[in-house]
């Protein structure tokens, strides 16, 4: 099929699937690296069955010339290295009549669930092709094929493979380079798939990368975008780890849990390089109490976990509130309740994050709204925790955490750990002194003359246990006041666009909401977006200003009961008519379904 009949699109989506050992994730990661190398933006979402090793796997990729924050509604291409159990991904890989499926005829036909939507199918014998090149693998054929189909330069494939296979030695590299080349060449004889339009953001997004919209000459996708070599290829879990280090964290206690483990595994070698340390704890009860101990000792400290771990940590979070010890807990949310769906995303820990402690326990809850923002939001959370001597929960999720994306490096916001400390021999030192700001100087062990006991028991200003009503009220007021009075600045939310319809969302729904709004804008529907970064403490005045003039508010989130919606209804006076649009994980909220909500409501 000749190239001139190809469709031009703002983004291209490819899924690569196969059973365990087929090398799906390797091929996907390399394809993402090839795209990054070629100056494209892109992301790869990982999805796999529950097996530890050897289960079915899917690499879900999307490419564009502007930063991408979510998966598209559908996939242009599905490459099946094999089809074993791949029908299980039917919901996660929506195809339609315009989609193309490519598979190895020796592995059988594509699953009926894909074929019935009218996607076309073209066979390609991956296994035989790989067999013809001794020492090569079918997934390298698939890599070359995918790169060729979407029009990535052959040079980029070659240089990425050379870098990646360096360790394997000459023969292995030569064989797999040859396999990728064979796949790439085969693409020319297969049905055409859409090509990327020249440097236009998906849906003319308002959030284009610096430099991304500056040049739009035809064929620019063949060129190297200016500034593209400064970009990062990063997962949200790595980004959160790096944000912690940027914020000043130097101690981490770790207990492994899917899908947060990579935060901890990134920090393990990183912290010693910057003068810190990571210790593996026996459970989450230990990990959070360890970081409280370390932070009591003056060292900014953090741990990362997921829902089940956060449940175990709630007791100690209350201790950190009462004893006023700054700590940060990153919660990489997954499907719940209980063990739930460990390796898949869901925004269902809002309730526990904002309310999940006994007693009146003000705490900070910060949610990143993009993969790159995992750096900034975590850095900010560390800064806030330290400044306010309070625990901060960072609500990330599996989608952010385990998705790898090409991003513009987030600027260092300069918010490093800044704790108000007592000086040696402070006259009449009172650890929990009532002050105008509610923040009182914290004495760090080793400082002479300011010894005190930090206590989870209610206490007086000196820190001595007290069950008297006066002390209780004064300390409750103090802890509430310091969070209420603090100036959180502009970072509390991302506010974009205008119109009488407003979308209020947070976290990983932000990208899809933004894309839906851009599509609506292209149809002449004006609407605004408020993506909350600071969930707790609530900011009623700021949100009221952001929603001034709004007549309809649509709260968008990925959980079953509308946890954000309910929280907003409790904490805020939202203007006009308020509706909730939500569904639980593991399926992401896709731009199209949010777009449909916007258009339907706008026309009603």
Partner 1 sequence: MNAPAVAAPITAQAFKSDYKPIWCPGCGDYSVLSSFTKAFAKLDLQPENVAVVSGIGCSSRIPAYTNCYGFHGVHGRSLAAASGLKLARPELTVVVASGDGDGYSIGGNHFLHACRRNVDLTYVVMDNHVYGMTKGQPSPTTEPDWDSKLSPGGTGLRTFHPLVIALAAGANFVARAFSGDPNGTADIIADAIRTPGFSFVEILSPCVTFRPEQREWKQLARPAPVTSTDDAARAARRIMTDDGFNIGVLYKGDRKPYQPPIGKGKKRPSDLEAEFAL
Query: Which residues within the stretch 399-438 sit at the binding site for partner 1 (CB under 8 A)?
Result: 406, 409, 412, 425, 429
**How many binding residues for partner 1 (CB under 8 A)?**
72
C-beta of residue 590 within 8 angstroms of C-beta of residue 512: yes
Rule CB under 8 A: say whether 456 interacts with partner 1: yes
Helix (H, G, I), strand (E, B) or coil at 449: coil
Q: Which stretch binds partner 1 (CB under 8 A): 12-20, 233-241, 499-507, 565-573?
A: 233-241
Q: Which stretch binds partner 1 (CB under 8 A): 195-203, 444-452, 551-559, 589-597?
A: 444-452
Rule CB under 8 A: say whether 229 interacts with partner 1: yes
- Please choose, from the candidates 496, 250, 533, the residue with its C-alpha nearest in 3D space to the C-alpha of residue 377: 533
Per-residue three-class SS string for 334-386: CECCCCCECCCCCCCCHHHHHHCCCCCCCCEEECCCCCCHHHHHHHHHHHHHH
Q: Quick one: 41 or 492, whose CB is closer to partner 1?
A: 41
Distance CA 157, CA 146 (A): 10
- Residue labelled with tokens 């949010």: 594
Q: Which stretch binds partner 1 (CB under 8 A): 184-192, 237-245, 433-441, 542-550?
A: 237-245
Q: Quick one: 214 or 453, whose CB is closer to partner 1?
A: 453
Helix (H, G, I), strand (E, B) or coil at 51: coil
Task: Name the helix (H) or strand (E) containing 253.
Answer: strand 251-254
Site for partner 1 in 242-261 (CB under 8 A): 242, 245-246, 250-251, 253
- Please choose, from the candidates 70, 76, 106, 80, the residue with its C-alpha nearest in 3D space to the C-alpha of residue 24: 80
Distance CA 235, CA 215 (A): 28
> Which of residues 85, 447, 561, 599 is near partner 1 by CB under 8 A?
447
Binding string to partner 1 for residues 472 to 501, with x set by CB under 8 A, is what?
------------------------------
Site for partner 1 in 3-62 (CB under 8 A): 36-37
Burial of 396 (0-12, 13-18, 19+ CB in 10 A): buried
CB of 430 to partner 1, least distance (A): 10
> Which of residues 86, 129, 179, 233 is near partner 1 by CB under 8 A?
233
Distance CA 517, CA 494 (A): 14
Q: Quick one: 271 or 509, whose CB is closer to partner 1?
A: 271
CB of 248 to partner 1, least distance (A): 9
Q: Quick one: 348 or 396, whose CB is closer to partner 1?
A: 396
Q: Tokens for 408?
A: 């513009």
Q: Which stretch binds partner 1 (CB under 8 A): 68-76, 351-359, 463-471, 558-566?
A: 463-471
Burial of 124 (0-12, 13-18, 19+ CB in 10 A): buried
Site for partner 1 in 522-561 (CB under 8 A): none
CB of 251 to partner 1, least distance (A): 5
Q: Quick one: 13 or 295, whose CB is closer to partner 1?
A: 295
> Which of residues 15, 57, 454, 501 is near partner 1 by CB under 8 A?
454
Rule CB under 8 A: say whether 226 interacts with partner 1: no
Helix (H, G, I), strand (E, B) or coil at 408: coil
CB of 454 to partner 1, least distance (A): 5
Per-residue three-class SS string for 574-589: CCCEEEEEECCCCCCC
- Measured N-to-C along each axis, helices 154-164 and 170-187 cross at an angle, to the nearest 10 degrees, of 150
CB of 194 to partner 1, least distance (A): 25
> Cα dist. 84→21, 77, 123, 282 in Å?
12, 18, 16, 38
CB of 347 to partner 1, least distance (A): 26
Q: Quick one: 448 or 524, whose CB is closer to partner 1?
A: 448
Distance CA 345, CA 282 (A): 26
CB of 199 to partner 1, least distance (A): 18
Distance CA 343, CA 257 (A): 10
Q: Which residues contact 167 (CB under 8 A, 6 or more apart)?
A: none
Site for partner 1 in 92-121 (CB under 8 A): none
CB of 274 to partner 1, least distance (A): 5
Per-residue three-class SS string for 287-345: HHHHHHHHHHCCCCEEEEECHHHHHHHHHHHHHHHHHCCCEEEEEEECECCCCCECCCC
Q: Tokens for 269?
A: 């070698």
CB of 426 to partner 1, least distance (A): 10
> Which of residues 465, 489, 540, 549 is near partner 1 by CB under 8 A?
465
CB of 229 to partner 1, least distance (A): 6
Rule CB under 8 A: say whether 155 interacts with partner 1: no
Site for partner 1 in 510-529 (CB under 8 A): none
Q: Which stretch binds partner 1 (CB under 8 A): 140-148, 317-325, 329-337, 567-575?
A: 317-325
> Which of residues 220, 464, 476, 587 is near partner 1 by CB under 8 A?
464
Site for partner 1 in 270-309 (CB under 8 A): 270-279, 281-283, 285-299, 301
CB of 301 to partner 1, least distance (A): 7
Q: Quick one: 280 or 561, whose CB is closer to partner 1?
A: 280
């Amino acid at each position: 099929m000749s190239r001139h009949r190809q469709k031009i699109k703002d983004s291209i989506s490819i899924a690569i699937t196969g059973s365990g050992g087929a090398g799906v994730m390797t091929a996907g990661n390399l394809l993402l690296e090839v795209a990054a190398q070629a100056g494209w933006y892109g992301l790869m979402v990982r999805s796999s069955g529950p097996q530890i090793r050897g289960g079915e796997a899917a690499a879900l990729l999307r490419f564009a010339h502007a930063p991408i924050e979510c998966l598209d509604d559908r996939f242009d291409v599905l490459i099946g290295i094999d089809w074993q159990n791949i029908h299980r991904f039917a919901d996660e890989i929506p195809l339609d009549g315009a989609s193309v499926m490519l598979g190895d005829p020796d592995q059988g036909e594509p699953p009926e669930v894909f074929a019935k939507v009218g996607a076309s199918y073209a066979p390609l014998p991956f296994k035989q092709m790989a067999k013809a090149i001794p020492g090569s693998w079918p997934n390298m054929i698939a890599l070359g094929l995918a790169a060729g189909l979407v029009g990535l330069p052959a040079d980029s494939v070659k240089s990425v493979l050379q870098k990646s296979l360096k360790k394997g030695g000459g023969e292995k590299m030569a064989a797999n380079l040859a396999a990728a080349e064979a796949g790439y060449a085969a693409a020319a004889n297969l049905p055409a798939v859409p090509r990327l339009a020249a440097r236009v953001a998906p849906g003319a997004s308002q959030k284009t990368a610096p430099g991304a919209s500056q040049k739009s000459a035809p064929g620019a996708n063949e060129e190297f975008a200016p500034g593209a070599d400064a970009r990062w290829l990063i997962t949200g879990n790595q980004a959160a780890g790096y944000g912690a280090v940027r914020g000043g964290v130097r101690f981490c206690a770790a207990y492994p849990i899917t899908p947060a483990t990579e935060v901890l595994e990134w920090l393990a070698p990183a912290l010693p390089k910057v003068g810190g340390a990571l210790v593996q704890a026996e459970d989450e009860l230990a990990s959070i109490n360890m970081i409280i101990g370390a932070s009591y000792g003056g060292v900014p400290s953090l741990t990362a976990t997921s829902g089940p771990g956060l449940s175990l940590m709630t007791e100690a979070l209350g201790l950190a509130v009462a004893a006023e010890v700054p700590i940060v807990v990153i919660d990489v949310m997954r499907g719940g309740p209980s063990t739930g769906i460990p390796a898949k995303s869901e925004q269902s820990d809002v309730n526990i994050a904002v309310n999940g402690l006994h007693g009146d326990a003000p705490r900070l809850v910060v949610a990143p709204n993009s993969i790159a923002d995992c750096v900034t939001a975590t850095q900010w959370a560390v800064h806030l925790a330290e400044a306010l001597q309070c625990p901060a929960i960072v609500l990330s999720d599996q989608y952010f955490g385990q998705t790898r994306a090409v991003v513009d490096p987030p600027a260092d916001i300069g918010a490093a750990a800044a704790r108000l400390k007592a000086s040696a021999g402070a006259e009449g030192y009172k650890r929990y002194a009532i002050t105008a700001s509610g923040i009182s100087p914290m004495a760090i062990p080793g400082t002479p003359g300011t010894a005190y006991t930090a206590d989870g028991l209610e206490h007086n200003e000196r820190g001595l246990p007290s069950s008297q009503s006066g002390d209780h009220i004064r300390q409750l007021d103090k802890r509430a006041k310091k969070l209420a009075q603090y100036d959180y600045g502009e970072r509390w939310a991302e506010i974009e666009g205008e119109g009488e319809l407003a979308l209020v969302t947070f976290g990983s729904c932000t990208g899809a909401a933004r894309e839906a709004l851009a599509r609506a804008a292209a149809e002449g529907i004006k609407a605004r977006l408020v993506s909350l970064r600071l969930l707790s403490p609530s900011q009623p005045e700021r949100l009221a200003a952001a929603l001034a003039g709004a007549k309809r508010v649509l709260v968008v989130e990925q959980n079953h009961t509308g946890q954000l919606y309910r929280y907003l209804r409790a904490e805020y006076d939202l203007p006009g008519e308020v509706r909730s649009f939500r569904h639980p994980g593991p399926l992401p909220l896709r731009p199209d379904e949010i777009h449909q909500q916007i258009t339907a409501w706008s026309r009603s």
